[in-house]
Amino acid sequence: MAIMRKHTLMIVIAYIFLVYGCNNSEDSNNQDVKNIILIIGNSKVIEQSHTGVLSNTNDLNLLRATVRGISKNQTICSTNSNSGVGVFSIGKRSNSMNTLGLDSNGVAQPNLVELASIKGLSTGIITTSCATQAIPASFIVHAIDKNQYESIASEYLNSPIDLLIGGGLQYFNDRSDSADLIQRFKNKGYSVYNDIDKAVMSSKLVVLIEENKNEVEKITSNHLLIKSTDIAIKSLALNQNGFFLVIDGSQLKTSNDQTPFYLMEELIWFDQSVGKVFDFADNNPGTLVIVISDKELEERTLNKSNSSINAQNTKSNTTDESIVAVYAYGSLAKTFEGTYDCTEIFNKMVRLLDLSIQ
């Protein structure tokens, strides 16, 4: 079965690359990279983009990407979200399933938010789930248990992050220690909101939404993900030195509790956010956009037939040679052509932004 699943993945990737092509020509925008926007889609973006093509009249912003590469050994890097995302945030694999910001030896490593801030770039995180979840938190903390949400929330105040948009307000203002982190953000000069519709552009911005059963709808429906992306890039672009932004599409996933219709809807919101970022790159030379999945999850095949969607789930692909497609757009996107180890995503971004690792 593992061999069959591997072949299935290879067929899907071959389909996308053959039908939509892989641009091997020189980038039209070869300006040095000033801004990087890293978009992380939860689960296999390559298969879900195939779904989106079928359901969105063959029109998908993600496929505007001028360069497509392959990140290999993704399962080794990311058998779970928190240890796996370290290959993006610190460029190191982790042996731990419970800590963040540590390499395989348990040593804390500088993350991209810290490195970018040292150089004078603005930094930001958007997440469609709780801000204390593994993916956004991996760009903030070191050595904290992934389940200690209040401790992770506190670390945001100690980090150099300039912009945060996500869920989990209760971990910042309704805490067991009675600390009011929202007021502390304000004391540090942040503009703070709990409604993205009321937020205005600011060089220091926090938008936190109460986490409850309707959180997904609050963050992603009515174009709120797009609004979050729009206000984030405009706010971070106030810094003439450049910026680094992470957009975590946490709701873009295949799981037993999500219907194919829900998955397609989330893909469309996610893809419209990608389009917004690509448009920004078109109008702001020096901007590089990278879109990648955080990990391998169960395979799901969606077929559109007579206006109905049929879903088939299989077990997760856990082979050591699993691969994930990398989409790149904008300045020096060609850097992400070819096949490379998953840790190279971090290394390439560090080199392009000319960041210094002590």
CATH code of residue 130: 3.40.720.10
332 pLDDT above the threshold of 90: yes
Mean per-residue pLDDT, 126-141: 91
Bigger pLDDT: 267 vs 77 = 267
357 within domain boundaries: no
What pairs with residue 126 in β-bridges?
A: 165, 247
Residue 143: pLDDT band with limits 50, 70, 90: confident
90 within domain boundaries: yes
DSSP secondary structure letter of residue 31:
P
β 163-167/191-193 pair status: unpaired
Mean pLDDT check: name the lowest of 25-29, 79-83, 200-204, 245-249: 79-83
29 within domain boundaries: no
287 pLDDT above the threshold of 80: yes
Residue 11: pLDDT band with limits 50, 70, 90: very low
Number of neighbouring beta carbons within 10 Å of residue 339: 11
- The one-letter amino acid at 189: G
CA angle 133, 136, 137 (to 5 degrees): 70
8 A C-beta contact, residue 252 and residue 266: yes
28 within domain boundaries: no
pLDDT tens per residue across span 151-160: 999 999 999 9
**286-314: string of b/e by CB count within 10 Å (b at 16+)?**
bbbbbbbbbbbbbbbbbeeeeeebebeee
Task: Report how far residue 299's alpha carbon sits from residue 282's, in angstroms, rounded to the nearest whole number.
Answer: 33
- What is the share, in percent, of the chain residues with pLDDT greater than 70? 66
In SS3 terms, 83-113 reads as HHCHHHHCCCCCCCCCECCECCCCCECCCHH
8 A C-beta contact, residue 54 and residue 60: no
Bigger pLDDT: 282 vs 44 = 282
Q: What is the pLDDT of residue 87?
A: 84
Mean per-residue pLDDT, 345-353: 96
- What is the share, in percent, of the chain residues with pLDDT greater than 90? 46
Mean per-residue pLDDT, 339-357: 93
Which residue from 205, 209, 263 is spatially nearest to 230, judged by alpha carbons? 205
Q: What is the pLDDT of residue 178?
A: 96
Look-up of token digits 């109460």: 210
195 within domain boundaries: yes
Across the chain, what does the average pLDDT equal? 78
153 within domain boundaries: yes
Task: Report how far residue 168's alpha carbon sits from residue 181's, in angstroms, rounded to the nearest whole number.
Answer: 12
8 A C-beta contact, residue 52 and residue 260: no
96 pLDDT above the threshold of 50: yes
Task: Report how far residue 167's alpha carbon sits from residue 128's, in angstroms, rounded to the nearest whole number.
Answer: 7
8 A C-beta contact, residue 228 and residue 196: yes
CB contact set of 170 (below 8 Å; sequence gap of 6+): 210, 211
Range of the domain at 166: 2-23+34-352
Phi, psi of 39 (to 5 degrees): -105, 120
Q: What is the pLDDT of residue 152?
A: 95
Q: What is the pLDDT of residue 302?
A: 35
8 A C-beta contact, residue 288 and residue 35: yes
- Taking CA atoms, 92 is separated from 81, 110, 222, in Å, by 14, 10, 37
125 within domain boundaries: yes
pTM: 0.83
Q: What is the pLDDT of residue 193?
A: 96
Bigger pLDDT: 244 vs 268 = 244
Reduce the DSSP state of residue 243 to 3 states and report it: strand
CB contact set of 257 (below 8 Å; sequence gap of 6+): none
Specify the length of the chain in residues.
358
Number of domains in the chain: 1
Q: What is the pLDDT of residue 9?
A: 45
79 pLDDT above the threshold of 50: no
Q: What is the pLDDT of residue 7?
A: 45
Q: What is the pLDDT of residue 74?
A: 53
Q: What is the pLDDT of residue 263?
A: 61
358 within domain boundaries: no
